[in-house]
Homo-oligomer: A and B are copies of this chain.
Amino acid sequence: MIARFLEIRQKTEAICSPLCIEDYSVQPSEFASPPKWHLAHTTWFWEEFVLTKYDSDYVVYHPDFSYLFNSYYNTVGKRVLRPTRGLMTRPPVEEVYAYRTHVSKAMELFLKNDLSKEVLDIIEIGLNHEQQHQELLVYDIKYLLGMQPTFPIYGNDFMTTAEKQETGFVSIKEGIYEIGHQGESFCFDNELGRHKVYITDFEISKTLVTNGDYLEFINQGGYQNFNYWHDEGWGWVNENKIEAPLYWHKIENDWYQYTLNGFEKVNPDFPVMHLSYYEAFAYAEWKAMRLPTEFEWEVASTQLQWGKVWEWTNSAYLAYPNFNKAAGALGEYNGKFMVNQMVLRGASIATPENHSRKTYRNFFQANMRWHFSGLRLVK
């Protein structure tokens, strides 16, 4: 447990290692937090939910930090408003690292104790919480660097690979299937309430939609034809003058994209990435197919190769029939976001190892696309 804790803590810092100090504090959009904030907030979680509650020897690092680095837990108290996270130049990065060290050391000692089930459960959530922020860190760093006029290089990590050539569809038979997490291993509360669903015959593609596929949609006027779009999506396209996935730039007649490894020509063999739900849906309409529901995806998942990009499904993010939210602050983790978001299934190349499973329910608003999102078709 201690080794796992330290490894995860170290991984968070490793993700930030290619940054210069200036990169840590800036917030390029309301939805993207500054890297410094992630470093501090994941630390705050351990201090707030474990150390100050269960470790009587623990000395709080700084009394202001409980307020400064709360994300959205109303239960815990007031907090810095999300859009102003990027204004906090103080504490400086160096002090945030000292805070991390202080808390990690305290946790290391604390973990040597004989801990109750209650505490162990919270620690498990804390580890998964930090892993979720590792993935968000990658999104936010890419967004920050991709907004720089100079397109700086982050490095060769988190780069996707070509989709396999073998194509075709997996067929699933009509019937009753069980959905949701099973067994003793960790999962989030939104995966529980295992229950039966009735599923009709469907076929699901073995491969993800690629950049090459998506270029056809662009070239055939997909962004100019309202027939493929939701009314709301069509408004979004026109208001924001969207013409391609996020990070794509047309230079003369070629498409380029910003990647973490710099500015590159779009590779047609790679899975398409950085699509909004609106775009994924419109692409499927254009193909005269559709997106899978999250239930179809889960049922078929054992026969699919997945894990390069999060896959938009046609399911809204809603509670499973017997959903029980946790008591206290951790009850704010998932349930309160169950409106106006769509579910994504799978995992991405930015997802930490050991942090993916077929029942995992990721979710974003329909217009978001700075996360590593793509799609797979169903017919």
Contact = CB atoms under 8 A, between A and B. Distances in A.
Contact of A337 (B176, B231, B336): B231
A288 B176 CA distance: 29
Interface stretch (A20-28, A41-49, A105-113, A131-139): A20-28
15 contacts: A20-B89, A25-B25, A74-B227, A87-B147, A89-B144, A91-B150, A176-B176, A195-B200, A229-B336, A230-B338, A232-B339, A234-B336, A278-B339, A316-B318, A339-B342
Interface in A316-357: 316, 318-319, 321-322, 331-332, 336-340, 342
A201 to B, nearest CB: 9
B229 A88 contact: no
B339 A89 contact: no
Q: When A and B form their complex, which 8 residue pairs have the shortest distance between CB atoms, in order from nearest?
A: A316-B316, A22-B89, A198-B198, A74-B226, A231-B336, A21-B21, A196-B198, A23-B89
A257 to B, nearest CB: 19
A57 to B, nearest CB: 27
Interface stretch (A64-72, A215-223, A247-255, A301-309): A64-72
B26 A339 contact: no
A25 B36 CA distance: 14
Contacts of A88: 148-149
